Amino acid sequence: MEKSSLDADCCALNTVLVEEKRGHLIPNGNAHQGVNGTLNGGPISAAAGAVSAAGAEKRQGFPERETWTRQMDFMMSCVGFAVGLGNVWRFPYLCYKNGGGVFLIPYVLFIFLGGIPIFFLEIALGQFMKAGSINVWNIAPLFKGLGYASMVIVFFCNTYYIMVLAWGFYYLIKSFNSTLPWSTCDNPWNTENCIEIFLLSFMNVILHLRNKVLNISDGLDEPGVINWELMLCLMAVWVMVYFCVWKGVKSTGKIVYFTATFPYVVLIILLVRGVTLPGAYDGILYYVKPDWSKLGEAQVWIDAGTQIFFSYAIGLGALTALGSYNRFNNDCYKDAFVLALINSGTSFFSGFVVFSILGFMASEQGVDISKVAESGPGLAFIAYPKAVSLMPVAPVWAALFFVMLLLLGLDSQFVGVEGFVTGILDLFPGKYYMRYQREIAVAICCLLCFIIDLSMVTQGGMYVFQLFDYYSASGMTLLWQAFWECVVVAWVYGADRFMDDIARMIGYRPFPWMKWCWSFITPCVCMGIFLFHLLNYKPLTYNNVYVYPWWGEVIGWCLALSSMLCIPVSLVYKLSGAKGTFREVCTISSYSNHCSISQHIRGVESIERLYCVVFVLFILL
């Protein structure tokens, strides 16, 4: 029965391919694939000579899949998602720490070895299969666990990432005071040692963050009470996210024009202001001055590779979801290079903004810039608030900075939610479709994440936040995901087959470099950096002082393994539940993949590749 079904799919697709060769098939966004990554094997109209994909959708009960109103909607959504807080608060510090301009050499190298190949792979896969992050892996059913893994990772990201937006929203509200609350010593949270003339310390700003915003407890085992002000800020941000996503890509594609572009306006304003401040030149010089000796350090290369995977938002499944709303013949190959240029260009440009301000702060305090250089939340909520408090009309510059911070994170957040919801809705067959299912699904997702986030607005919330940040969507989980994406596409599905699929979409074959990267280079880069992180693993600490208890470490590893184990567990489950010998099961899977694309690759070659991949997976485990 199953074999007959596979043969039927093959015959239906063969007819499609014949019609395409005759010039009868006009790609319209639904050319080869139905909704949810299924093949449309519907009848072909003799009069029109074309496949009625929309009719097939209607018969199956699916609504026609949305597409972007304009292609620029897709571009802006990808910019909004991939260009986020890491571009502003992580890359500049890494560049400064790892040899200034010299850091650009390994950084650019990893863009072409790992960043662009996987970025393009995820977008192209979504565009071809017309499905979210789970159903795109119907191309290799045994490895559908890749889709579940990406869903777990993006869910964790959606859960903890929004806390940064809640803090930013809180600081934005406090910026509308004539005197910034962290710039004086007459506040209830200040200690007796607080001084208003800062010489060597950020103590007042740190106390504002620690004692007022976070009201942090002594450890993970002391959750304490909820900070109601922070909880209201969290609720407000989740409401904003909900109304950005609830109507799908038609509304998201409009909102992202503002959320993706306005931060650039603010960055330009801050740069103009920054370079006019005393000490700005010294700060920028620290940022770009090359230190050639750094090229010999392994950590510099690891930092460059890790930053690429973080900033390009690879392995989360959201890029696949965004690509699934493209028209079938969209040139996603060109889009991948343009988006990579925008992403990395933003990172480099942000460094001039950040270090011009840090140079001014170091000049005002009479200290070396290394004393004030920070990355991550330390830059956003300690170093920069301290810097703007030294400027004339400080509330204006503080408000501008936190508006930029909020918008940079907001579009990354709601596109991440969109990717998660798309993957979930694609799992439901057409017969379960209901009118308001998207709105309900988005509401459930936001509510569930909000409930989990309540643990992060308590006095012990910062410890919970760090657990999620360090383990759930860490470098190791993303690298593991990216490694298997390349292996499955290149060695199970077939790199040549996928190149043919892309050529069918965009009208030409991409440069063979992409195939070489998917097959050899990128998996080696991913696994090399993964093993480096694993071998150099250090237990999590907070502020280099508080050491997490053993049970906290266990929770952290459970968060990491909850996504990483999806791949082998799903594989074992499918193999153990299938009838027949291992070779017969692999044969069925191989022929399924084979028939859904082309006939020119023999099934036995797919079986042999599948044996190798399964063997490698169990060796790694």
Q: Which residues are part of a known binding site for Na(+)?
A: 80, 82-83, 87, 311, 343, 408, 411-412
Residue found by looking up tokens 């969290």 in the block:
234
Distances (CA, A) of 320 to 78, 292, 313, 418, 518: 10, 38, 11, 11, 16
- Residue 572's contacts (CB-CB under 8 Å, 6 or more residues apart) are none
Burial of 133 (0-12, 13-18, 19+ CB in 10 A): buried
Please count the other Cβ atoms lying within 10 Å of the Cβ belonging to residue 619: 7
| Known binding positions | 80, 82-83, 87, 311, 343, 408, 411-412
Residue type, 64: E
Rg (CA), the chain: 25
- Residue 465 structure tokens: 């936040």
Burial of 3 (0-12, 13-18, 19+ CB in 10 A): exposed
Q: Which residues of 283-319 are buried (b: 16+ CB within 10 A; e: fewer)?
A: bbebbbeeeeebeeeeebbbbbbbbbbbbbbbbbbbb
Beta strands in 328-486 (DSSP E): none
Calculate the dihedral angle through the C-alpha atoms of 94, 99, 105, 107, rounding to the nearest 10 degrees.
-10
Distances (CA, A) of 360 to 278, 351, 355, 368, 388: 6, 14, 8, 11, 10
- State CA 362 to chain mean position distance: 34
Cβ distance 111 to 91 under 8 Å?
no
- Residue 12 structure tokens: 């239906």
Of residues 265, 315, 249, the one with CA closest to residue 75: 249
3-state secondary structure of 87: helix
User: Hey, which residues does 546 pair with through a beta bridge?
Assistant: 542
